[in-house]
Structure 1
Amino acid sequence: MASPFFARLSGNSVMGSGIRSFASPVRTTSLPQASFAKGASGRSGFHASSRRLDFKTVEQAKSRYRSGPFSWKSGLLFLASGVGLMIYFRNEKARMERRRVAEMSKGVGRPKVGGPLNLLDHNGKDRKDEEWRGKHMLVYFGFTHCPDICPEELDKMASIIDLVKKEHGDVMNPLFITCDPARDTPPVMKEYLAEFHPDLIGLTGTYDQIKQTCKSYRVYFSTPPEIKPGQDYLVDHSIYFYLMDPEGDFVEALGRQHTPGQAAKIIGDHIKDWKVAAKKA
């Protein structure tokens, strides 16, 4: 006798000349279907229905993963930030050093450089230091009969004046004070200074006035007190440019080792510092 299971199987699977399907006890999962389409060239092409990849080529995909979280742009930004910080701290250090030098010149127990001026200018007009308040002063001591050093330093002073004026405007009074009052009269000084720079202000006075002024600025002064007409003599003096702030206080002395560009840079930095301090006050 045939088993009922085989009987059912036989009855469901065969009918007439065709085979009938029966339900499978196993569940299947549908996979994405692929379709073929004929392109313009007549050749079949494969189109996947799955999600397209973001990368067009394999090399682009590799490049993205090879670069990591940092790019060349972020590297340049990091480098630029580092350089900017380095420049800032270097400038700040230089500013603090200039401030320290300026404060040292005003320190207790140190000899003061500078003092009141009451002299004649190269036009024969009485001038006092109060007239130049509000601007920096660049003071140089010399004499018109100086054979070599004074002309060189006055040429240098003229270059400094132009450089500072170009960068910061009319913010400085350049003064030339003679160490030889017997020969350096106002007309002599006017003719002499005209060869160097129109902004230079020549100052002269009596022997005692010049001696006291040189003493105030700590300038070596060796001019003889009594000179006979036509007498020839030598004059020794210190070779420095004295920078004074707009209140008449000494800031810094610039020597022969400074080029015009270096001196102008130092003066310009002090001018900037003064403006910053004035805004904060």
Structure 2
Amino acid sequence: MQRLLRILVLVLILGLGALWGVAWFGRQPGEPLGDAFMRQVAALTGQEAPLPSAGGVQLPQGASLGGPFTLVNQEGRTVTQADFGGGLLVAYFGFTFCPDVCPTELGAISAAMDLLSPAQAARVTPVLFTIDPERDTPEALKAYVANFHPRMVGLTGTPEQVAETARRFRVYYAKVTRPEMSEYLMDHSSFIYLIGPDGRVRTLLRPQTSPENIAAAIRGQLAGM
């Protein structure tokens, strides 16, 4: 009996070692080895691979963020998630008057886009969802997103549309005014969302995620689309 157990343990160790080897040689550019290993396990068992987090927040099983939306882009045209050609959205909720956090995160997203291959980048749209529709008109968004990446889209809408979209994505935001301020600011959460063609969030990345990890998460998602 003990001999049989030893043989089974040895077979298991050899099998796991072989699987790690396949994951190492078969991983995609920039894909973490752990994600590549889980992808091989999923392929072997016929299960769906877990979403790569790349330092992000793994959504609990059954949890759902996002969904269909209707907003206005920087050209003044009404759009929904269906207008993005079935590609992946890399989204951030912020505002054009943001003094520091928003340009930092949008800059990281833009840098991540530049790390993708041309074929990969063609399937991805970076998006700024405004949480300040009072000031972020289509014209203001058009001028602002042009500072970051040529593929970046700005989305605004009525206060009701913006509030409904923020609710679907569980985005916190609130207007902040102080006596010493000439303009109000917006306090808001600061995650990066990777959104699938159905408008649902596939991966949620923490603030200050590096461009390299953002790009790795994007590649992981594209591999499963």
Give the structure-2-normalised TM-score.
0.72
Q: Partner letter of residue 93 of structure 1?
A: M
Whether the 8 Å CA contact 1:139–1:241 is kept in 2: the answer is yes
Taking the aligned partners of 2:68 and 2:198, their CA distance within structure 1 comes to 12
Taking the aligned partners of 1:262 and 1:251, their CA distance within structure 2 comes to 15
Taking the aligned partners of 2:48 and 2:150, their CA distance within structure 1 comes to 30
Q: Partner letter of residue 145 of structure 2?
A: L
Go from structure 1 to structure 2 and tell me whether the alpha carbon gap of 1:122 and 1:270 turns closer, same or farther (over 3 Å shift): same
SS of equivalent to 2:99:
coil
Q: Deviations over 1:180-234 (max 9, x none)?
A: 000111111111111111111101111111111111101002138xxxxx97322
Relative contact order: is structure 1 or structure 2 higher (C-alpha 8 Å, sep ≥ 6)?
Answer: 2
2:125 is matched with which residue: 164, 170, 173? 173
Q: Tell me, yes or no, if structure 1 residue 242 matches structure 2 residue 196.
A: no
Unpaired runs of 5+ residues, structure 2, are: 1-15, 24-33, 53-57
Q: Partner letter of residue 204 of structure 2?
A: A
1:121 is matched with which residue: 59, 67, 73? 73
Query: Which residue does 1:184 correspond to in 2?
Result: 136
Taking the aligned partners of 1:148 and 1:182, their CA distance within structure 2 comes to 20
1:258 is matched with which residue: 199, 209, 212? 209
Go from structure 1 to structure 2 and tell me whether the alpha carbon gap of 1:186 and 1:165 turns closer, same or farther (over 3 Å shift): farther
Whether the 8 Å CA contact 1:133–1:248 is kept in 2: the answer is no
Query: Which residue does 1:86 correspond to in 2?
Result: 20
Root mean square deviation, CA, Å? 2.8
Taking the aligned partners of 1:169 and 1:196, their CA distance within structure 2 comes to 15
Query: Which residue does 2:156 correspond to in 1?
Result: 204
Q: Partner letter of residue 88 of structure 1?
A: V
Report sequence identity in percent.
32
Q: Deviations over 1:218-277 (max 9, x none)?
A: 1002138xxxxx973220111111001233322101122421011101210121133xxx
Whether the 8 Å CA contact 2:105–2:208 is kept in 1: the answer is no
SS of equivalent to 1:131:
helix
Whether the 8 Å CA contact 1:160–1:260 is kept in 2: the answer is yes
Q: Partner letter of residue 50 of structure 2?
A: R
SS of equivalent to 1:180:
coil
Give the structure-1-normalised TM-score.
0.59
Q: Deviations over 1:67-113 (max 9, x none)?
A: xxxxxxxxxxxxxxx987533245222665993348x84844x3x21
Q: Which has the larger radius of gyration?
A: 1
Taking the aligned partners of 1:187 and 1:98, their CA distance within structure 2 comes to 42
2:174 is matched with which residue: 209, 217, 222? 222
Q: Partner letter of residue 138 of structure 1?
A: V
Whether the 8 Å CA contact 2:191–2:204 is kept in 1: the answer is yes
Taking the aligned partners of 1:98 and 1:237, their CA distance within structure 2 comes to 33
Taking the aligned partners of 1:248 and 1:99, their CA distance within structure 2 comes to 20
Taking the aligned partners of 2:79 and 2:182, their CA distance within structure 1 comes to 29
Whether the 8 Å CA contact 1:118–1:129 is kept in 2: the answer is yes
Q: Partner letter of residue 144 of structure 1?
A: T
Go from structure 1 to structure 2 and tell me whether the alpha carbon gap of 1:223 and 1:206 turns closer, same or farther (over 3 Å shift): farther
SS of equivalent to 2:218:
helix
Query: Which residue does 1:272 correspond to in 2?
Result: 223
